[in-house]
Amino acid sequence: MRLVMRLALVCGLCLFALTVSAASRGKDEPKAEAKGKAEAKNQPSSASTRENYRARLNENVVTIMAGSASGTDLAIVQDIADVLDDGDQLRVLPIVGKGPEQNIKDVLFLRGVDMGITQANILKHYAKTGELGSNFIDQVAYIAKLFNEEMHILVRSDVNDIQELKGKPVNFGAEGSGTEITGKLVFEALGIDAKEMHLSDADAVQKLKSGEIAAMITVTGKPAPALANIKDAHGLKFLTVPYAKELEDSYYPATLTHDDYPELVPEGQRVDTVAVCAVLVSFNWDHDSPRYARLAKFVDRFFTNFDSFQKAPRHPKWREVNFAATLEGWHRSPLSQAWIDNAKQVTKTASTASRDHFDAFLAQASRTSAAPISDAERANLFRAFLEWSKTHNDN
């Protein structure tokens, strides 16, 4: 009898919510029809169609500077374009760049670059080099903290401790790359003075196998194609990177597993390492700038469609992203902050309204019910109500 009553309550509250939702949509239909008629009256003449299209196309395009063609960030930027790009309203153009060091410069100085992906520890890098001055961070705003990029140190099987790399030739990747920046900063923090080499991944693997170098470093989101696709990985392994106190303020603990690299990590084992956070940044434009208006359109669509990035076939690294997370030492874009603040308020308001609707329904149902509803049953019914409401709104 109690089960029948609970089913009846769930069905009833679903019908109740459906009625509210349908009424809300009905109020909007006349507005949509009026808007459509107004737009039809304002259609441009055939003589100006081409120029209007040119203007609209340029007003609604944004560019994002990624890293190298083989890096995780280019795949991430391509995902952004695939999800958000609808042609006329917003077009996202991925650009192959040279890594986090150059990407900051491109965002600051290169015409036509709206955004770029860099690494959170780039602040330490430029604080050390002094190349961009002490206040360059005021000219950059981060839109979102993205995914973690793991540090991979590949060595031969006879190397068992990172300290053994002191004075040895180690490949730090291309100059200016994220691998070089993070590799040098981590090695310096751990007191390891290695002989720097700057080879491609393919050349580094061959020289590692032949014994010409002692290790190769790759900093990218796992699994790194250059490492996962190594042929004949016998005699090679990943080296543990200790999560020392000196690394705690800029890096995160991370692991490499057999699932990530079946040929390099034995089944059932893992290799501890560290990771650095990738960051989506833009120039800190004035509020009255046309570039600011284009970024506003991007930020709204990026955050609004965030759930789409965490579904297949998007890169698995999206599942690590928390766009509301803060980044110490950086300035968050006011556009991002405004969206997050608004979303929190909307969520709070919606939750209150849902609770009020649910309570009103239960109050009405209890007047015709012979048996009282327990607190546990009430909680279960409210969860069912919220789940049903979410599914209904998505459809």
Query: Which tokens hold the place of 29?
Result: 């239909």
Tokens 């690294």 map to which residue? Answer: 317
Residue 381 scores a pLDDT above 80: no
What pLDDT is recorded for position 5? 44
pLDDT > 70: what percent of the chain? 75
> Amino acid identity of 248?
E
pLDDT, tens digit (0-9, with 9 covering 90-100), for 383-395: 565 555 555 555 5
Compute the average pLDDT of residues 70-75: 87
Instruction: Using only the alpha carbons of the chain, give its radius of gyration.
Output: 27
Separation between Cα atoms, residue 184 and residue 192, nearest integer Å: 9
Query: What CA dihedral angle connects 151, 231, 72 and 315, to 10 degrees?
Result: -120
Determine if residue 312 is left, alpha or beta; phi over 0 gives left, psi from -120 to 50 gives alpha, anything else beta: beta
Separation between Cα atoms, residue 274 and residue 241, nearest integer Å: 6
pLDDT confidence bin for 382, thresholds 50/70/90: low
pLDDT, tens digit (0-9, with 9 covering 90-100), for 273-290: 999 999 999 999 999 998
